[in-house]
C-alpha cells in the first residue's frame, strides 16, 4: 500500500465475504465448554474483526461459579475416568488428521478474528498439525527408570523405580497472536501427559480456541478432561486460585504473570512472557541476506510476535548497506486487507494498540530518533517502521514494542553489540549473522537468552525445541516433549526386600543344602 492510499480504499470487503465468514463462525457449537457440554447462555461478549470492526460472533460471559463447576467436573473425571496412554496418543493423532482436513476453515477463523493475514494463518494451521503429531509422539516421554538404591547405604535391601504421572489439572491461558498453535502447545502436552485442562483463550481471539476444543472432542478427547471459558467478571482470578488447579501455563506479559503468581500461591507456574529480541550483524556477514531476514523477522504478524526482531546491531562497516537493504525491503511490503493474498502486513489487534505503538515512535522521534521509513498509523494499521539514532532509554529500545517497529544501531567491537543485546530485562532469543563459526559461537556463549540462531534472526521456533528464555522472558520451557516433562511428575515405587540373613535362616536344612 502506498502512503497516499487509505486502508479503507485498499481493504474492500464485500457483503458476501462478510456473510460467508460469519456463517462459518456461527457453526461453532457454543460460547464456552464446561461440565462436558457447550454453553450458549449469556453469549454477550462480542468478537470483532480488528481490520474493520465487523462483528464476527459472540461468546459467553462466564462467572467464577462456572469456573468452579468446570474444574470440579474435570477433577471428578480424573478420579473416576480411565483414559490410558494409548487412547490419548490415538486421540491426538486423530486430531492432527482432522485439523489437516479442516485447515481452510481454521485458517479463515484465525485470519478473521486476529491480526494475521490469510497466508500467515495457513502457516499457523500447518504448524499446529505438527504440534499435535509431536504431542502424540511425546507418549514416549512418559517413561521412568530403575532407582540405583545399591549405591546408597539407605538403599540396602531395597529395589524401586519411578515413572511419570500427570500433575492433575492444568490451567492454560493463551494470547491473541497465535490463537491456535499456542493453544495446542499447552493442550497437546497436557493431554498426552494424562492431565485435565481448563483453557482460557484470549477474549480477543476466542473463536479459534473454541473450534479447537470442538475438534479435540471429535478426535476422542473425553469431555470430562477439558473445559474452555473465555471471559467474565472474576473468571481469570477464579481459574488461577482454584485449589484443584495444579499447574498454570501462561503466555502473555510480565505484569500479568506477576499478578497470576501473587494470586495463585504455591502452584507450579510455567510462563512465556515475551522478548525484546536483538540481532547482531557482524562485519563479515552478507548484507542483503541479513537485511532480508531482518525485514521478515521484524514485521511478520505486524510485529505482534514474542520472537520479533526489535533491535539490530550492525557493524559500522556494513551499517549503511544493511540499512539501505532493510529500508528497501520494508518499502516493498504491502499492508492492508488480511484476506488479500498480496498483503504482507495486517492490522494490529486493536486500534488502541496501534495508538500505543504510534505514541512510542513519536516519543523516540522527540528524543532524536530518525524514521527511515513508515511511522504512520491508519486506524488499527501501523506502517512497518525502521528507526535509527534511537536513544537507549526510549521505550522502543527498553520495552517490548509488540508492533511493526525495528531499531537499527551501529557497533564497532563485538563486545559492544553483545553488551547492547544483553542490556534488556528480557532474554528470549537472539540472532547472529557471521561467516565465522568461531565468532558465532563466541558471541552465542555470551548472549544471555534462551536460544541463539546463527545466520538467522531471533524469529525462529521449531515446535520440538525447548522454548523459553531468561530474565523476564519467562519461567520453564515449552516445546512439546519439554512441556510434557513440566506437566508430569516422577512418582517412585520402592520395595523393601527381606533381610538376606533372615531369609537364609528361615530355610530348612534340606533347602539350604539344595540351594
Residue 361 · residue 368 · CB < 8 Å: no
d(CA 354, CA 375): 11
The kind and range of the H/E element at 330 are helix 319-331
d(CA 187, CA 210): 12
Residue 429 · residue 458 · CB < 8 Å: yes
Q: How far from 379 is each of 7, 141, 175, 355, 388, CA to CA, in Å?
A: 8, 48, 22, 8, 25
CA 424: distance to chain centroid?
21
d(CA 255, CA 141): 33
d(CA 184, CA 178): 10
Grid coordinates 511490503 are at which residue?
Answer: 333
The kind and range of the H/E element at 121 are helix 118-137
Q: Can you tell me whether residue 72 is helix, strand or coil?
A: helix
d(CA 323, CA 45): 45
Residue 279 · residue 432 · CB < 8 Å: yes
The 10 Å Cβ neighbour count of residue 7 is 18
**Which residue in 122, 124, 272, 456 is the catalytic one?**
272
Residue 235 · residue 64 · CB < 8 Å: yes
Q: Which three cell numbers stand for residue 365?
A: 522521534
Strands 247-251 and 169-173: parallel
Residue 269 · residue 260 · CB < 8 Å: yes
Spatial neighbors of 341 by CB under 8 A, at least 6 apart, are: 118, 119
Q: What angle do CA 234, 238, 243 make, to 5 degrees?
A: 165
**Which residue in 11, 128, 306, 394 is the catalytic one?**
306
272 carries an active-site annotation:
yes
Residue 7 · residue 381 · CB < 8 Å: yes
Q: What is the dihedral of CA 399, 405, 411, 417, to 10 degrees?
A: 40
Q: Catalytic amino acids? A: 272, 306
Amino acid at each position: 500500500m502506498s502512503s497516499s492510499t487509505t486502508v479503507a480504499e485498499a481493504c474492500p470487503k464485500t457483503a458476501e465475504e462478510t456473510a460467508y465468514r460469519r456463517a462459518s463462525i456461527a457453526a461453532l457449537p457454543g460460547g464456552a465448554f464446561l461440565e462436558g457440554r457447550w454453553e450458549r447462555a449469556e453469549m454477550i461478549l462480542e468478537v470483532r474483526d480488528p481490520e474493520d470492526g465487523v462483528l464476527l460472533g459472540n461468546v459467553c460471559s462466564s462467572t467464577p461459579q462456572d469456573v468452579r463447576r468446570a474444574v470440579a467436573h474435570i477433577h471428578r473425571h480424573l478420579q473416576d475416568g480411565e483414559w490410558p496412554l494409548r487412547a490419548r496418543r490415538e486421540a491426538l493423532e486423530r486430531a492432527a488428521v482432522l485439523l489437516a482436513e479442516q485447515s481452510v476453515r481454521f485458517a479463515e477463523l484465525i485470519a478473521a478474528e486476529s491480526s494475521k493475514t490469510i497466508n500467515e494463518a495457513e502457516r499457523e494451521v500447518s504448524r499446529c498439525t505438527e504440534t499435535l503429531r509431536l504431542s502424540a509422539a511425546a507418549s514416549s516421554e512418559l517413561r521412568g527408570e530403575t532407582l540405583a538404591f545399591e549405591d546408597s547405604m539407605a538403599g540396602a535391601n531395597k529395589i524401586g523405580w519411578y515413572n511419570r504421572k500427570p500433575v492433575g489439572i492444568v490451567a492454560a491461558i493463551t494470547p491473541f497472536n497465535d490463537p491456535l498453535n499456542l493453544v495446542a502447545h499447552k493442550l497437546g502436552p497436557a493431554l498426552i501427559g494424562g492431565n485435565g485442562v481448563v483453557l482460557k483463550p484470549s477474549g480477543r481471539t476466542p473463536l479459534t480456541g473454541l473450534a479447537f476444543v470442538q475438534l479435540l472432542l471429535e478426535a476422542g478427547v473425553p469431555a470430562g478432561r477439558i473445559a474452555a471459558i473465555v471471559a467474565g467478571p472474576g473468571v481469570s482470578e477464579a481459574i488461577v486460585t482454584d485449589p484443584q488447579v495444579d499447574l498454570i501455563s501462561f503466555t502473555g506479559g510480565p505484569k500479568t504473570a506477576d499478578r497470576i503468581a501473587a494470586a495463585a500461591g504455591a502452584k507450579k507456574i510455567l510462563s512465556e512472557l515475551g522478548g525484546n529480541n536483538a540481532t547482531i550483524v557482524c562485519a563479515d556477514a552478507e548484507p542483503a541476506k541479513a537485511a532480508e531476514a531482518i525485514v521478515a523477522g521484524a514485521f511478520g504478524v505486524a510485529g505482534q510476535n514474542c520472537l520479533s526482531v526489535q533491535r539490530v546491531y550492525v557493524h559500522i562497516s556494513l551499517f549503511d548497506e544493511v540499512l539501505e537493504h532493510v529500508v528497501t525491503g520494508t518499502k516493498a511490503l504491502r499492508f492492508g486487507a488480511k484476506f488479500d493474498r498480496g498483503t504482507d502486513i495486517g492490522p494490529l489487534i486493536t486500534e488502541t494498540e496501534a495508538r500505543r505503538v504510534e505514541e512510542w515512535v513519536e516519543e523516540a522521534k522527540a528524543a532524536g530518533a530518525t524514521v527511515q521509513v513508515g511511522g504512520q498509523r491508519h486506524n488499527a494499521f501501523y506502517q512497518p517502521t525502521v528507526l535509527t539514532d534511537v536513544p537507549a532509554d526510549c521505550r522502543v529500545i527498553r520495552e517490548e514494542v509488540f508492533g511493526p517497529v525495528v531499531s537499527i544501531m551501529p557497533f564497532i567491537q563485538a563486545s559492544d553489540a553483545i553488551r547492547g543485546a544483553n542490556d534488556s530485562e528480557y532474554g528470549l532469543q537472539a540472532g547472529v549473522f557471521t561467516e565465522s563459526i568461531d565468532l558465532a559461537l563466541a558471541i552465542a556463549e555470551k548472549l544471555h537468552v534462551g536460544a541463539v540462531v546463527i545466520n538467522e534472526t531471533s524469529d525462529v521456533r521449531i515446535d520440538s525445541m525447548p522454548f523459553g528464555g531468561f530474565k523476564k522472558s519467562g519461567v520453564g520451557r515449552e516445546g512439546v516433549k519439554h512441556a510434557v516433562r513440566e506437566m508430569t511428575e516422577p512418582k517412585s515405587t520402592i520395595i523393601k526386600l527381606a533381610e538376606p540373613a533372615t531369609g537364609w535362616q528361615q530355610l530348612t536344612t534340606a533347602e539350604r543344602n539344595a540351594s
